[in-house]
Amino acid sequence: MIEVRNLTVDYIGENSVARAVNGIDFDIREGEAFGLAGESGCGKSTVAFALARLTRLPGLVSGGQVRLNGEDVLNFDKARLKAYRWNEVSFVFQSAMNALNPVIPVSEQIMDVIQTHKPELGQQGARERAVELFELVGIPPRRLDDFPHQFSGGMRQRICIAIALALNPKLIIMDEPTTALDVVVQRDIIEQIVELKSRLGFSVLFITHDLGLMIEFCDRIGVMYSGELVEVAPAESILTNPQHPYTRALGNSFPPLTGPRVRLEGIAGTPPDLRALPQGCRFAPRCPHAMDQCRVQPPELRYYPQHRSEAACHLLN
């Protein structure tokens, strides 16, 4: 459904250009939850913004394509873009607090999105849809006219999800959607999204630093390192059958949900400066398996059918 090809995003500085996303390729299938994992600063949110056509200066999409059912998203004109946002792709970001306007009742904020995109529904129709959406995310519709501060953080985030669902989009982009919430509320909300997804059939691009939550929730996961995808694999393989050394390290730095407690092995070192990248594999300075070849030749993402995963590492060839 979504095809990302050679997507490249730069951050333009005064005297330098940092390539935050370096020519990545992946697909999101219909009805699929696709996760993007990796340390902060690896480019996950930058990819999400590019897909939503929300890249703003100093960020600049400098190459590649994003296609939605074959249509060229990055070249949409204003009118097409208006239909694309909310109707086809919507988003839920981390800060539910800031996403809602504090001085306007929630009902108006939901109806506003509905009426902007579906004026034919009228006031009455938009109100009915808002009631439906509240029911969908498990909030009593009698609370529709309350102000944002009258809701808990978890409920505010459910309201953001309701707004994201308002126009039955094909894809919902969720960037750290539950990070500000406590663990129990997080899990509740994610379970609800999973349920809604199977009922309504939308796809999800899911970004979180919580690898456990991501593995549980997603069908496939793309692991990013320093602006590149190093592995794309079925979610369960990320811990049980990782192909790339960085995926393995990421899995090892994550506490297991069940079984005996093990020592957390952090990943030694830090990601490279995007303005001074290593010549070969970007992970080479931190990789325990780095070979001479790794320091000169960047590995390419290749499909390994025996593992059903794509990975970019010279060790695998």
Assign 3-state DSSP to the chain and report helix, strand, coil percentages, each to 5: 40, 25, 40
Count of positions on this chain that bind Mg ion (CB under 5 A): 1
43 binds, among Mg ion, ligand SF4, none (CB under 5 to 8 A by kind): none
The DSSP string of 240-259 is HS--SHHHHHHHHTS--SSS
229 sits near ligand SF4 (criterion: CB under 6 A): no
- CB 5, CB 25: distance < 8 Å: yes
Q: Which of 66, 166, 290, 301 binds ligand SF4 (CB under 6 A)?
A: 290
DSSP code of 280? S
Distance between CA 74 and CA 53 in Å, rounded?
A: 7
Residue 289 interacts with which of Mg ion, ligand SF4, none, CB < 5 to 8 Å by class = ligand SF4
Which does residue 151 touch among ligand SF4, Mg ion, none (CB within 5 to 8 A, set by kind)? none
Q: How far is the CB of 291 from ligand SF4 (least distance, A)?
A: 6
Of 158, 163, 169, 175, the closest CA to residue 50 belongs to: 175
Q: Which CB sits closer to ligand SF4, 73 or 294?
A: 294
Q: Which is nearer to Mg ion, 155 or 274 (CB)?
A: 274
Of 244-263, binders to ligand SF4 (CB under 6 A) are: 245
Q: How far apart are the first and last CA of the chain?
A: 30
Site for ligand SF4 in 38-77 (CB under 6 A): none
Helices 122-136 and 153-165, axial angle in degrees (round to 10)? 130
Instruction: Mark 34-57 as b/e (b = at least 16 C-beta within 10 Å).
Output: bbbbbbeebbbbbbbbbbbeebee
From the list ligand SF4, Mg ion, none, partner contacted by residue 203 (C-beta under 5 to 8 A by kind): none
Choose between 20 and 313: whose C-beta lies nearer to ligand SF4. 313
CA R_g for the chain? 21
- Please count the residues of this chain forming the interface with ligand SF4, following the rule CB under 6 A: 13
Q: What character string, x for contact with Mg ion (CB under 5 A) and - otherwise, covers 24-63?
A: ---------------------x------------------
Reading phi first (left if > 0) and then psi (alpha if -120 to 50, else beta), residue 36 is in beta
Residues in contact with Mg ion by CB under 5 A are 45
Residues in contact with ligand SF4 by CB under 6 A are 245, 281, 283-284, 287, 289-291, 294, 299, 313-315
